[in-house]
Structure 1
Amino acid sequence: MIGINPRGLLVATATMLAILLAACSSGNAQSENLAATERALSATQQALEAQQQRQSDQQQPQRGLGAPATEEVQEEEQQQEQEQEAPAVTDKGPYYVEEFSEPPMDWTYYLLSGDSRDFQLYTERDRLVFDIKGEYIWAYYTYDNYTYGDVRVDFRAKNLGNNNNNVSLICRVSERGWYEFNVANNGLYAIYRYTVSDNNFRELYSGGVANMRIGKETNDYTMICKGNRLTLGMNGVEIRTIEDNLFEEGFAGVGVSSFDGTPVLVEMEYVEISQP
């Protein structure tokens, strides 16, 4: 079937109307018939125009409709369910034991030295793993929820890589600096005060740890910062206590560093932060 163009039909009707008017104008006797004819043609024209408008409206592109109200309710319910399923970030408090069953959200790592491409920090089998492939990388990991004046940090670590490394405990970490206790897996230790202003590690004391299990072994490390007294412990034994008055408060954390021997691989089983 061939479609009819409403616009063409309207033009043809108007032309026919003009012809009829011309033919009927010659006889006054036919004026009543002419008037009736005009009224009929006028009604026909109005009907055709109305039909054209309806078809034109049907051809207009339809706007996209909004989602039904039921779909909006379903989306809101799904969003609420997802929010309920998301694990809540809970405040562990200032003193607690981190066992690394999953990556902790309230700890932050940073590098003081080295290329980040040669360093990985991750949790695996309920262990925190420092995986260092590059030389002279100094990596730290701090608990950021609280700052401490007096604090004790204990952790258990196993050396799985090169012995030429440092395992560290740090306290009173701030924009000014921190105290750092370094224990190498060859049995040597040093206690430092690091100041940010001059990027300087000042050695406060150094020596050897007689009771350390050297090599690919597991050891328990302890740091106590209380007042102006700084204490290092190893495997339940106090190794050295010194005094310093520069730093009073800051974050606490742990760290691992490499030197000229790689790879360095250290696993921490837990980190406990407690009141001394």
Structure 2
Amino acid sequence: MSEVNDKVVIVTGGANGIGAFSVEVFIENQAKHVAILDIDTISGFKLEKHLNTKYGDGKVKFYKCDVSIDDQLFGAFNKVLDSHGYIDVVVNNAAVSLENSLERIRRLVDINVTALVMSTLKAIEIMRVDKTGKGGTIINISSIAALKQFCPSVFVYCGTKSAVLQFSNCIGKQEYFSKTGVRVITVCYGPTDTDLVPLMINIDDSINPEIRSNIDAQKLQTAESAARGLLEAYKNGASGSTWLVFDSKVTEITSNIDRAYDIMSENFTK
């Protein structure tokens, strides 16, 4: 079991929703420090003040950061490293869901996939034991959108979460973990009461009423229960494992993922 105490943690998209609760859950469990990376300065500084008042000065620091801009993302990592000397945990939580224009779709891919990949690679570079690091954990946030072929849906959002799942599973496998000492865990959230839900709007207006109806029919878990599920995955997950947090219940689904890929690849592998 992996413990949280004395860990230095980065949470992207940490100013609101699941990210904000994740920040507090780590602090509650005796993390040394949590850095919040987000573009929302009002919520970010407010959360920093609230948690430092509640748990002690210096426990949390907000960094204004657009994760899709490498200079800002890597700059924030370097500031945390300069302040604390090491980074133990990176939670790649930042995501958007709105895809009602080509511009929005490009940004969705930039944030949900490209930024997550760059953050993961930067974290491995810092933490890998075969270089100058001491190991660590990366938790990449996917979704049930990666586990089922929903239609009609926010297709690009679903595609980005599938990309997160595949990337994280592969880079987290034992063959690579044995070289780096950096765990990579995937957490798939079920329907959760966050600001992303109302913004699940497709560029094709003709299917939005059905998408909205399907979403409205779902029972939403709280953002806090999702964050607590993430902590359970952190404590118990092996590198390359996948965890589902659905209806406030936490289940490891690694064997399901492995079985699905065995089926998909059965025509070209032995």
Same fold (TM over 0.5): no
Where on the TM-score scale, by shorter chain, does this alignment land: which range?
under 0.3
Q: Which has the higher strand share?
A: 1
Calculate the TM-score normalised by the size of structure 2.
0.26
Q: Which has the higher helix share?
A: 2
Calculate the TM-score normalised by the size of structure 1.
0.26
Instruction: Give the number of the structure with larger relative contact order, counting CA–CA contacts within 8 Å between residues 6 or more apart.
Output: 1
